[in-house]
């Protein structure tokens, strides 16, 4: 059939195009409005506020770059940037490797596989605040469960949450525990998308399981890996609730990440302008690191398995 | 810019701020934080509505920490509650920034007899010649204890009346706490067999993010002034104050009679009534507003209240109180004043007092609170005798938020034994005074 030979038909196609475009925009409108009101507008306001001094109660006062200049002399804020990177380094490698190993195990034909899959995702479904209360009891050095347990073996447990060298690793391990199962889901989906013929062919060729893992599984998991790393690294840079309910940034600021510092500056010190400046810095750090990850993976990722 | 910024915070607040009046009815939003006091608040509003059926009062409740952050964002968005609980530590900044409605004129016009309130309590709500609130209640700090713990240690509760502490050997107070600090083998802290790493019950629990329920009290008892006068600089780095801070640290680390700071440091550590209810501590230094939490956590007849010990400078406690504030931007200033006037009245406060909620702002009602608790088998007069003796209030300062953050952080380290008391006090005073 030659549609071009019929002008009337072409016109109606065109009209149908227009109408479906209008429908599409109408459907997109709610999310575009939401995106603008709750994301774009606040970003613009925060960037603008970073040039102001504002205590919430009186009118903001323009101070130019003063907030940015003050950052250089703010030891606590600089420490919080270091704390953030430290947390991400503790959190991401452990969480990613564990999630991958779990996904491999859950992908194997083991008994009660589905039950395990559910169990590992449960921590992610629980409320971080409720978990914080439980974990605080577990880690309480005097009355808590962990040190009582260690005491059975004659081990003196540490003051987990008030010892500045332990507090951050403890927070990171709680978050690893909470998010590993969730991360596993994405690896599992990635694993299940890999065609089994590839492994069958490799078996015929006599490739070892290890060789198959590094030459078939890992390369074909890259889309999943890219997604997992980008989302979990961003989430990790923004960690807040676990810290808020377990240490409140203490002891002596040892677990105050940049995001937590933003909270303290704005909501306990009423320095909304200064906190906005810190938020802009955090935004910049996350954007730069996400860009690096995308660049790193772009040349190495295959999306089409066929 | 102000509008844009206000818009940014207004979005979520605006969604919540519905209601308003229909048929000439007025709706007032009334914000408070303490869950223990909710029954009293509801009962007072019911009574208010008997005379004011045309005013609907919507309650907005947030726990302490969230209360102030929510209030700040609501003020920024110019949609704050019409009437809200105010705290002495937060009040000066609010008054200074003109977000509170002065009620000096209304008080004059109504011809209120303000001598119904203790003068110090009433005056603490004045700023720059204007009055911003009527006292809702008052509180003080005393020694709350488990009767069964004292019995088991063979201690006569009457001993508590005469306890004294000093910075050198701790005095009879520390000895009292040592007898109540008991390890897993049943040995107390005075015994040579005592194992400090395996304690089942500590002598005292303290947990305070500001100092109100712990070291400020030892401070008054040692002649320490947190500031020489209202709105003057913090002076908590003086020898009298540092000695009190050091004594508090000694209770944790030298004498080991206090629930360890690793468990009780704020903002996330356990609360004193939790330690006492669980039997992990025999006593606690705590405020009168927490009484019902102790009652609910302990078996009937096991709760008692005694005076705090005397220090080198004598007796002393920290007193404080709350008031009701009116938002300067309220659309219904007249109705809001009617509510505030009622909540400050003897009639309203009698309702709260008779429910055992808090010590009333109206002095003549104090007996009602004592009677309620006597009916529960608890003699709470320790709070009142403490308040009538030497006391200090919250420091009044525009730099309270700076003080609150740095003090909690620095003194937490002192309680943990990892920071020198003098260095911490100097840092706190310098940081807070710099603003």
Instruction: Establish if A198 belongs to a structural domain.
Output: yes
Instruction: Establish if A21 belongs to a structural domain.
Output: yes
CA A114 to each of CA A104, A107, A111, A178, B145: distance values in angstroms, whole numbers, following the listed order: 14, 10, 8, 19, 52
Report the pLDDT averaged over residues B249-267: 96
For chain A, the average pLDDT equals 90
pLDDT band at A303 (very low <50, low <70, confident <90, very high): low
pLDDT above 90 coverage of chain B, percent: 84
Domain assignment of residue B290, given as a range: 141-318+399-434
pLDDT band at B422 (very low <50, low <70, confident <90, very high): very high
**pLDDT tens-digit readout, A269-297:** 999 999 999 999 999 999 999 999 999 88
SS3 at position A290: helix
Report the pLDDT averaged over residues B310-332: 95
Contact: B268, A136; criterion CB under 8 Å? yes
* Residue B321 region by backbone torsions, left for phi larger than 0, else alpha for psi between -120 and 50, else beta: beta
Question: A226 — contact with chain B (CB < 8 Å)?
Answer: no
Which pLDDT score, from 0 to 100, does residue A129 have?
79
A240 shares its domain with A153: yes
**pLDDT tens-digit readout, B79-128:** 999 999 999 999 999 999 999 999 999 999 999 999 999 888 898 899 99
Contact B261, B416 (CB under 8 A): yes
| Number of compact structural domains in chain B | 2
Classify residue A48 as exposed, middle or buried by CB count within 10 Å of its CB (0-12, 13-18, 19+).
middle
10 Å Cβ neighbour count for B89? Answer: 20
Instruction: Establish if B382 belongs to a structural domain.
Output: no
Cα(B398)–Cα(B133) distance, rounded to whole angstroms?
A: 18
Contact: B267, A264; criterion CB under 8 Å? no
- In B, minimum Cα distance to A245 occurs at B268
Q: Which residue has the higher pLDDT, B22 or B76?
A: B76
Question: What is the token pair recorded at A198?
Answer: 């590839």
Cα(A210)–Cα(B213) distance, rounded to whole angstroms?
A: 62
Residue B270 has pLDDT above 50, yes or no: yes
pLDDT band at A70 (very low <50, low <70, confident <90, very high): very high
Question: What is the token pair recorded at A108?
Answer: 């194997």
Alpha helix (H) ranges present in B357-420?
A: 366-375, 381-388, 400-415
Which pLDDT score, from 0 to 100, does residue A224 have?
93
Q: How many CB pairs under 8 A join A and B?
A: 101
- Nearest CB to A141; choose among B2, B263, B266: B263
CA dihedral A270, A273, A274, A279 (to 10 degrees): 110
CA atoms within 13 A of residue B425's CA, in its CB half-sphere: 25
- Domain CATH code at residue A177: 1.10.3720.10
pLDDT above 70 coverage of chain B, percent: 94
Instruction: Establish if A138 belongs to a structural domain.
Output: yes
B235 shares its domain with B102: no
Contact: B266, A248; criterion CB under 8 Å? yes
B93 shares its domain with B207: no
A79 shares its domain with A16: no
Instruction: Establish if A64 belongs to a structural domain.
Output: no
**pLDDT tens-digit readout, B334-360:** 999 999 999 999 999 999 999 888 999
**pLDDT tens-digit readout, B359-416:** 999 999 999 999 999 999 999 988 998 888 888 889 999 999 999 999 999 999 999 9
A40 shares its domain with A142: no
- Nearest CB to A269; choose among B76, B199, B402: B402
- Which residues of chain A have a CB within 8 Å of the CB of B199? 142
Select from A115, A27, A67 the least CA-distant residue to A279.
A67
pLDDT band at A92 (very low <50, low <70, confident <90, very high): very high
B43 shares its domain with B133: yes
Residue A144 has pLDDT above 70, yes or no: yes
ipTM of predicted assembly, 2 dp:
0.86
Instruction: Establish if B122 belongs to a structural domain.
Output: yes
Residue B13 has pLDDT above 50, yes or no: no
Report the pLDDT averaged over residues A118-131: 86
Question: A60 — contact with chain B (CB < 8 Å)?
Answer: yes
Contact: A49, B5; criterion CB under 8 Å? yes
A25 shares its domain with A82: no
A264 shares its domain with A156: yes
Instruction: Establish if A57 belongs to a structural domain.
Output: no
Instruction: Establish if B50 belongs to a structural domain.
Output: yes
**pLDDT tens-digit readout, A27-69:** 888 889 999 999 999 999 999 999 999 999 999 999 999 999 9
Which pLDDT score, from 0 to 100, does residue B389 have?
87
B34 shares its domain with B161: no
Residue B22 has pLDDT above 90, yes or no: no
**pLDDT tens-digit readout, B130-179:** 999 999 999 999 999 999 999 999 999 999 999 999 999 999 999 999 99
Residue A114 has pLDDT above 90, yes or no: no
A112 shares its domain with A230: yes
A80 shares its domain with A167: yes
- Which residues of chain A have a CB within 8 Å of the CB of B80? none
| Number of compact structural domains in chain A | 2
Domain assignment of residue A206, given as a range: 75-298
DSSP class per residue in A27-47: HHHHHHHHHIIIIIHHHHHHH
A204 shares its domain with A154: yes
Instruction: Establish if B200 belongs to a structural domain.
Output: yes
Residue that has been written with the tokens 């223990």 in this structure = B36
A204 shares its domain with A278: yes
Instruction: Establish if A306 belongs to a structural domain.
Output: no
Which pLDDT score, from 0 to 100, does residue B245 have?
98
Question: What is the token pair recorded at B26?
Answer: 């007025």
Rounded to 5 degrees, φ, ψ at B314 are 105, -160
B228 shares its domain with B347: no
A108 shares its domain with A31: no
B81 shares its domain with B129: yes
Question: A166 — contact with chain B (CB < 8 Å)?
Answer: no
Which pLDDT score, from 0 to 100, does residue A18 have?
73
Question: What is the token pair recorded at A11?
Answer: 């016109």
Which pLDDT score, from 0 to 100, does residue B7 have?
45
B216 shares its domain with B228: yes
Question: What is the token pair recorded at A157?
Answer: 């447990």
Instruction: Establish if B176 belongs to a structural domain.
Output: yes
Residue B215 has pLDDT above 80, yes or no: yes
Q: Is the peptide bond before B267 cis (omega within 30 degrees of 0)?
A: yes
- Domain CATH code at residue B325: 3.40.190.10
Instruction: Establish if B77 belongs to a structural domain.
Output: yes
B207 shares its domain with B298: yes
A88 shares its domain with A185: yes
Instruction: Establish if A62 belongs to a structural domain.
Output: no
Which pLDDT score, from 0 to 100, does residue B21 have?
43
Contact B55, B25 (CB under 8 A): yes
CA A73 to each of CA A54, A78, B171, B195, B339: distance values in angstroms, whole numbers, following the listed order: 20, 9, 46, 47, 48
B202 shares its domain with B131: no
Contact: B413, A251; criterion CB under 8 Å? yes
B211 shares its domain with B336: no
- Which residues of chain B have a CB within 8 Å of the CB of A159? 260, 262, 416
Report the pLDDT averaged over residues B17-38: 76
State how far residue B77 is from chain A, nearest Cα, in angstroms: 8
Question: B402 — contact with chain A (CB < 8 Å)?
Answer: yes
Contact: B94, A142; criterion CB under 8 Å? no
Instruction: Establish if A61 belongs to a structural domain.
Output: no
A129 shares its domain with A258: yes
Rounded to 5 degrees, φ, ψ at B74 are -65, -40
B279 shares its domain with B311: yes
State how far residue B124 is from chain A, nearest Cα, in angstroms: 21
Q: Which residue has the higher pLDDT, A8 or A231?
A: A231
């Amino acid at each position: 059939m030659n549609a071009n030979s019929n002008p009337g038909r072409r016109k109606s196609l065109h009209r149908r195009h227009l109408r479906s475009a209008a429908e599409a925009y109408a459907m997109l409108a709610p999310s575009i409005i939401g995106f603008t009101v709750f994301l774009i507008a606040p970003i613009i306001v925060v960037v603008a506020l970073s040039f102001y001094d504002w205590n919430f109660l009186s009118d903001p006062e323009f101070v130019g770059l003063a907030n940015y200049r003050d950052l250089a002399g703010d030891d606590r804020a600089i420490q919080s940037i270091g704390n953030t990177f430290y947390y991400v380094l503790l959190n991401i490698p452990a969480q990613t490797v564990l999630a991958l190993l779990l996904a491999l195990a859950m992908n194997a034909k083991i008994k009660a596989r589905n039950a395990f899959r559910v169990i590992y995702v449960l921590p992610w479904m629980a409320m971080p605040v409720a978990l914080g209360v439980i974990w605080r009891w577990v880690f309480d050095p005097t009355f808590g469960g962990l040190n009582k347990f260690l005491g059975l073996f004659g081990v003196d447990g540490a003051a987990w949450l008030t010892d500045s060298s332990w507090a951050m690793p403890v927070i990171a391990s709680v978050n690893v525990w909470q998010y590993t199962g969730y991360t596993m889901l994405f690896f599992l989906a990635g694993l299940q998308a890999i065609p089994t013929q590839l492994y069958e062919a490799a078996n015929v060729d006599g490739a070892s399981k290890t060789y198959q893992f590094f030459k078939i599984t890992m390369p074909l998991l890259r889309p999943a890996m890219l997604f997992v790393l980008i989302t979990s690294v961003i989430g990790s840079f923004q960690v807040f609730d676990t810290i808020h309910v377990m240490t409140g940034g203490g002891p002596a600021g040892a677990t105050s990440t940049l995001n937590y510092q933003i909270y303290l500056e704005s909501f306990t010190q009423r320095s909304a302008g200064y906190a906005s400046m810190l938020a802009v810095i955090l935004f910049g750090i996350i954007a730069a690191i996400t860009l690096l990850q995308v660049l790193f993976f772009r040349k190495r990722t295959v999306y089409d398995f066929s | 810019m102000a509008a844009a910024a206000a818009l940014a915070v207004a979005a979520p607040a605006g969604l919540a701020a519905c209601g308003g009046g229909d048929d000439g009815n007025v709706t007032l939003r009334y914000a408070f934080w303490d869950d223990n006091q909710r029954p009293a608040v509801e009962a007072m509003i019911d009574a208010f509505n008997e005379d004011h059926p045309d005013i609907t009062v919507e309650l907005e409740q947030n726990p302490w920490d969230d209360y102030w952050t929510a209030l700040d964002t609501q003020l920024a968005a110019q949609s704050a509650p019409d009437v809200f609980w105010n705290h002495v530590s937060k009040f000066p900044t609010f008054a200074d920034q003109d977000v509170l409605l002065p009620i000096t004129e209304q008080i004059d016009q109504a011809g209120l007899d303000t001598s119904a309130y203790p003068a110090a309590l009433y005056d603490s709500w004045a700023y720059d010649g204007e009055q911003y609130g009527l006292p809702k209640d008052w509180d003080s700090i005393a020694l709350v204890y488990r009767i069964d713990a004292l019995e088991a240690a063979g201690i006569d509760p009457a001993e508590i009346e005469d306890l004294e502490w000093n910075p050198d050997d701790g005095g009879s107070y520390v000895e009292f706490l040592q007898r109540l600090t008991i390890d897993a083998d049943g040995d107390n802290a005075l015994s040579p067999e005592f194992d400090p790493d395996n304690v089942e019950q500590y002598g005292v629990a303290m947990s305070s993010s500001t100092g109100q329920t712990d070291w400020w009290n030892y401070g008054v008892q040692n002649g320490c002034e947190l500031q020489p006068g209202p709105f003057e600089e913090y002076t908590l780095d003086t020898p009298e104050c540092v000695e009190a801070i050091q004594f508090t640290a000694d209770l944790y680390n030298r004498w080991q009679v206090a629930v360890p700071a690793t468990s009780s440091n704020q903002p996330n550590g356990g609360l004193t009534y939790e330690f006492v209810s669980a039997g992990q501590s025999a006593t606690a230094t705590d405020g009168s507003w927490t009484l019902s939490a102790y009652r609910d956590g302990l078996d009937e007849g096991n709760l008692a209240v005694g005076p705090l010990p005397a220090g080198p400078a004598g007796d002393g406690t920290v007193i404080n109180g709350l008031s009701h504030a009116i938002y300067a931007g309220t659309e219904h200033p007249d109705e809001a004043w009617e509510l505030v006037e009622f909540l400050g009245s003897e009639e309203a406060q009698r309702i709260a007092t008779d429910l055992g909620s808090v010590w009333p702002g109206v002095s003549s009602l104090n007996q009602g609170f004592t009677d309620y608790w006597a009916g529960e088998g608890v003699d709470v007069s320790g709070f009142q005798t403490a308040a009538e003796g030497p006391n200090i209030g919250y420091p009044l300062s525009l730099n309270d938020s700076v003080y609150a953050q740095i003090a909690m952080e620095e003194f937490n380290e002192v309680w943990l034994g990892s920071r020198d008391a003098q260095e911490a006090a100097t840092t706190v005073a310098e940081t807070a005074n710099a603003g």
